Structure 1
């Protein structure tokens, strides 16, 4: 089964499922080097990678599934639009082959399947929340061994994702692709300062009413959806609502340094206060939705997907609900992850997947590169390097222990926006100066953006207060006093951190790196971890991407395959 995600001209992706198992997944942005692969829905290069990884061709694929309905609001199970199919899968990359038909998986069903089907759970409540897809902005579902049953849906006119996005835009944090910045800024604000009375959490969910700003909840607006007229009206209404609070739209100044655009890193107290208010309100609405889904289904496990599912702070709130015994959040919760859900849902319908299926325990599903190819590139680049062999983790840990910042490029590329030890920038979490150096000098971004810790699972109790695994850096936890003392650079101003836990494994270079750092420093086996990229580019995919990013910025060292590359000043 080949699933294709990102149908709305952003976050295109592809996932290949064979015998009910995810064998490959990649996001098109990693190949195009255009963040979110904006303004295109071509999945062709990502799909070509998935097929090549499995050693098959497009003709060998039993079924192709897309994660949206091109004929919405008219129901459809298949799509035979040749132009659309060619837009998704450029025949030039597949020997001229043109699939005649693709299966349609409704957008929110694909999201739900991406969370439940790889959760390993035999039953769970499922919560999907995003901006909008196929006219829907939130879905409550029940996942069982028979599949998914949709319980309730909220229309696009009740979108929590769009609400959150407009706050970020109003504060000058960027367009919809930058709404995650709001989560970091919220930690600095007072959530009680403002009342956003147009959005009301209530039992069973929430209610959005922008009547005071020209949009009534009962207004018939289906004809304004696909041409984005409603979306534009909504943004105008929200801008008026925030301005009425005494916060005019903020357009952050941008400066240039060394050819790079540097964002204005300042903010006013009212900006942080509005961010805090929006974050708390979002969490309250999600809590009501989750409780309703859990009560209705009688389940004690919760699965989460949709773009809002990337909000670590909100996920942390859900994880703490007394009704939730276990939480699984799809690491690629945004539209890219719909490729996973579409492929798995198609596999389930064909009888190729039996639920509960294999649990998703890793996001390392993308391309990997042999040492020979890496060596050839390093020779071509002229950068000095040493082949450290099996001692690479120890050598890299030594660099970090000396206060240096290291690019880490190992194994298969991760799925989703979080760096999980395959395409990472790593530093010592004991010094807040390391966090500030990464934000200011390496990432060129706002100083209030939090960075996350990666730690050996055995340190979880001391640093997180729990032994529960957190493999995907997508659920916030309250930091313990030990964490505040020993890894302060990874603790946000609100006292939380978003951890990735790693099992001790002598065959895993990342686990060995964490263990070696602890041995060399006498501190916990934890590192400061952020994605290996600059501020305006996707996470690096290939060795060439890694070398280019390393050479263009102030990273001190690069651990790539078995090789350690160091800048002259770090020798």
Structure 2
């Protein structure tokens, strides 16, 4: 059996590892889940994620045929292999490096890795593949043609034309935080009017054009020397601050619970609309130039559910696949699959990815050990799904920890906080009292059947990454998961992939007549999604959840037994 390992996150954030065996994904994990540092910021190390991938397969470093990294450390020069021992030790950990780890890593370009993460799991043999992010290896947006022979790059747009950095800068200017909070801007956009003219960015027939010359940053000047030391990035954010201010939007103070009206919301709406127009233009160009009607998306910008929803409803696009781990962590998946394809170990077309449950799971012994370590009282109901459904129907908010962890930033019923979607009161309680964040943040639904709830029930809905228009029935009966713009971002749950979660939904439907639950990520503010049972118990206590379901075990904190 041939094993290849992909590594992501060499830009000091979102480190990850993915193991592929004979072309099949065996394991994927993000380093943040082990380090408990969100995005695993300020480190390249994917040591814990890589070690877990090998452990999951029952192999050692000597069994790995080749390791790929989604990064060219010598950009703008070409580089096929990374041989710097210090950097390799930084990526996989010094212990692994000295215990038979690789002495050479195959370099897969950053955007090529993103593109591979979207194309190979899409299960198609002809696709327009678009990657849009902040920047990687000097590229901000790229178009590729995916065929039976692999990926062929059509266009690359440089970092000086970054849609991702534009969106990040607007997030900061609106008082919503740094680049890790870009999703807030998308949620806030629903409350504003796109009335602010940001004339420095415009969609064009072939894509888009960004020109900040009027603010002292001309796109025609070669900025290559200032890319690697981040001085261009810092200057860009200062330039954007001036551009937004000149457009009539002074820098906003840190957003609070009630920041969903006024100038910040209008900026969010204006930026969101402009991003949509530009990305749709890029995708339209990709479809025309490749002649393909299937579209695959990756890169951080591909996490924009609103834009994805518009693309999914575009008549010229016959199918849309968005990699659930669309951010930089997903590059480990793409690097591994691209390497497997080059080695002749990946057969086209591969299977269509229908779930993201690729991370660690924990058996009953591990769960009981964690419960005993904190002195938790617990029960083992004969049907844990039915017991959880009764709690939800009774208005409880529960932590749900089941099976293998999800890949990507969306909780998909493996490491989730669940509640009854029939009321906005529970949505508000989760945002205000549990997650302690802005009240206007949308929460998403997991459901058995899309037909009653969305106007496009056959659209892509595996990963809560595509917005659907809500039906009147959804707005009336599950308002807790319908956003202010009349959309929801659903997850369609299937018994084949998530049998316990599907049973929960069936049981909740038997209790309430609604086969939908409100689902948000199981994490405390500022931390990654929980990974282990110990993480779940610790975070559940800090969040004040009414109950925790971990595998077959139910624990209700003493203070919540009479809620």
State TM-score, norm by structure 2. 0.97
Q: 1:155 aligns with which of 152, 155, 158?
A: 158
- Structure 2 residue matching 1:359: 3-state secondary structure: coil
Question: 1:485: Cα distance to partner?
Answer: 0.7
1:399 aligned to 391, 404, 411, which one? 391
Residue number in structure 1 paired with 2:553: 563
Task: Work out the CA distance in 1 between the residues paired with 2:134 and 2:510.
Answer: 46
Structure 1 residues 475-512: Cα deviation after superposition (integer angstroms, max 9, x where no partner): 00100001101110100000011100012459700000
- Is structure 2 residue 302 aligned with structure 1 residue 305? no
Show the counterpart of 1:48: 51
SS of residue paired to 1:416: coil
Matches within 5 A, 1:511-550: 511-522=502-513, 524-550=514-540
Which of 470, 473, 495 is equivalent to 2:464?
Answer: 473
SS for the counterpart of 1:48 is helix
Structure-to-structure mapping, 1:330-341, within 5 angstroms: 330-341=323-334
1:228 aligns with 2:218: no
**TM-aligned CA deviation for residue 97 of structure 1:** 2.8
The answer as to 2:480 corresponding to 1:489 is: yes
Write the distance in 1 (CA, Å) between the matches of 2:94 and 2:234.
35
Residue 216 of structure 2 is aligned with which of 214, 219, 226?
214
Give the whole-Å Cα distance in 1 for the aligned partners of 2:158 and 2:356.
31
Matches within 5 A, 1:250-269: 250-252=252-254, 265-269=258-262
Contact 1:505 1:512 in 2 (8 A): no
Q: Does 1:408 align with 2:400?
A: yes
Q: Which residue of 1 aligns with 2:67?
A: 64
The alignment status of 1:35 with 2:38, answered yes or no, reads: yes
Q: What SS does the aligned partner of 1:131 have?
A: strand
1:317, CA displacement in angstroms? 1.3
Whole-Å Cα distance in 1 between the matches of residues 496 and 109 of structure 2? 40
Mapped to 2, the partners of 1:66 and 1:333 lie a distance apart of: 16
Aligned residues: 557
Q: Deviations over 1:208-243 (max 9, x none)?
A: 000100011211111111011111111111000111
2:492 aligns with: 501
Map 1:173-212; keep pairs closer than 5 Å. Answer: 173-191=176-194, 193-212=195-214
Superposed, 1:322-401 pairs within 5 Å as 322-389=315-382, 391-401=383-393
Of 434, 438, 441 in structure 2, the residue corresponding to residue 449 of structure 1 is: 441
- The equivalent of 2:250 in structure 1 is 248
Q: 2:444 touches 2:520 (CA, 8 Å); kept in 1?
A: yes
Residue by residue over 1:263-308, the C-alpha shift from the partner in whole angstroms, topping out at 9 and shown as x without a partner, is 5653551100010000000000011000110111111110000000
SS at match of 2:408: coil
TM-score of the superposed pair, with normalisation by structure 1? 0.96
| 1:426-445 matched pairs, under 5 angstroms | 426-445=418-437
CA gap of 1:507–1:539, structure 2 versus 1, over 3 A, is: closer
Alpha-carbon distance in structure 2 between the residues aligned to 1:145 and 1:506? 27
CA contact (8 A) 1:21 1:358 kept: no
**Greater than 3 Å deviation, 4+ residue runs:** 504-507
Q: Does the 8 Å contact 1:130/1:307 carry over to 2? A: yes
Tell me the equivalent position of 1:258.
none
Contact 2:176 / 2:185 at 8 angstroms: preserved in 1? yes
- Following the alignment from structure 1 to structure 2, what is the Cα–Cα distance between the partners of residues 233 and 103? 33
Give the CA RMSD over aligned residues: 1.3
- Distance (whole Å) between structure 1 residues aligned to residue 90 and residue 559 of structure 2: 48
| Contact 1:128 1:138 survives alignment (8 Å) | yes
Unaligned residue ranges in structure 2 (runs of 5+): none
